[in-house]
Structure 1
């Protein structure tokens, strides 16, 4: 089995573990039993993420799936995302500090379990789509096809949130939002030569959104800026990458002609 097939198999098995686990979870725990559901979901996420860790270690290696030497100069493209996270994080901390006196044991357990789940989910999704898929499908001739597959795959799999209690409309909205994020992040992964900053953003972003919803605290409206940032940053980087790919192919073509002559 080559790396392309392994990457596709990894997505399928990861999603099957999550879907089966969530379906069982929904049958065993009522919506009122929030802690029980979170504990169960955390266990499911640990199992699915453990499978991804095993696949990477056995068949890929961390350096080969996006953990190469970071192109620090290109971090400037990540700056808008960092500023959004800082604003959201500050708003969350402020809201928690204002309500901390009313927090129960269950509230703190909810925060901890949400952190565990979002950390594993964010990491796993990034190493699958901006790691295994992107690096397995790219070739010396072109990286554009791999970027397209990575972006589309990342957006489509989010329809599976319907198995996690989301309505069809909510799941479709999630797919649309994910497509914008995938569009920008796959280009960032290429530009940075390292997916660590993207993993960090994904984990913190999911944690802030989910924990604020779970414990009913307000977060900064600056989060709404993420969609236009995705479009702008993504479009610029895609143009740069496509232009560089065209130049690279032309240079290779000219070199081949010289060697032939």
Structure 2
């Protein structure tokens, strides 16, 4: 038990350092004077690959081989990913259908590269390293809640990059709820790769939607309104994640990547 508790503490420490690298390098590159959308669409960001490289070094150094870096079981996979995939298709379709002159092939490429690296880095940090420690030290739901809440909380740090507190709080709430679904997908497929790809494509679609939007300086949205709107938006995805974890047979194999968790 002591060994598993130590791994959880080490995993939390690793994620804290990962967040510091992400924020620190991001601040150096952007000086904190741009919105999140402007950051992702205007240049290749170096914070996320730097943080991801740190995590890969840690994985190599620790020798952890239970993080989900293996091919997913494809049987029944569509049942596990159909709703997030439907959201992503809607995001991308709407993003490309907007009349936005600045949405060039170069911008699309930059957004795609940035968001796919974010998907890789964040999933490795939370549904890989942190989940690898939490699932061995805690029972299922406390571990799942811890990973999801910490994933959401780290998005509050976007305030240091953009200065937009209400937006960061809303992002944190949405990330907490969607994070549970990404975790459910990681468990149901016994692979980190599916969650990484879906996460990256999700962010890609979201930034396509937001590209070119001009914020009215006189407009003010209260924090409560923003949070309620976020819940309405992400609620179906959150409930879908709970539904994916409804099966005790699925949860019985959650501590490892055994075939028990592939039940669909």
Secondary structure in 1 aligned to 2:31?
Answer: helix
Query: Cα gap change, 1:42/1:20 in structure 2, threshold over 3 Å: closer, same or farther?
Result: same
TM-score (norm: length of structure 1) = 0.74
Q: State the 1:131 CA deviation.
A: 0.9
> Which residue pairs with 2:244 in the alignment?
237
The 8 Å contact of residues 46 and 120 in structure 1, kept in 2 or not, is answered as: yes
CA distance in 2 between counterparts of 1:148 and 1:211 reads: 30
CA distance in 2 between counterparts of 1:28 and 1:172 reads: 17
Structure with more helix by fraction: 1
Higher Rg of the two aligned structures = 1
Structure 1 gaps, min length 5: 218-222, 249-261
Q: State the 1:183 CA deviation.
A: 2.1
The 8 Å contact of residues 91 and 209 in structure 2, kept in 1 or not, is answered as: no
> Paired residues, what number?
232
The 8 Å contact of residues 49 and 124 in structure 1, kept in 2 or not, is answered as: yes
The 8 Å contact of residues 77 and 188 in structure 1, kept in 2 or not, is answered as: yes
CA distance in 1 between counterparts of 2:146 and 2:90 reads: 32
CA distance in 1 between counterparts of 2:136 and 2:120 reads: 24
Q: Deviations over 1:90-119 (max 9, x none)?
A: 333444xx65xx458xx4443332222211
**Aligned with residue 162 of structure 1, among 149, 159, 166:** 159
Query: Cα gap change, 1:166/1:111 in structure 2, threshold over 3 Å: closer, same or farther?
Result: farther
> Which residue pairs with 2:31 in the alignment?
27
> Which residue pairs with 2:217 in the alignment?
none
The 8 Å contact of residues 45 and 121 in structure 1, kept in 2 or not, is answered as: yes
Please show how residues 93-172 of structure 1 align to structure 2 within 5 Å.
Answer: 93-95=96-98, 102-103=101-102, 107-139=104-136, 142-172=139-169
Which 4+ runs in 1 deviate beyond 6 A?
A: 28-31
TM-score (norm: length of structure 2) = 0.73
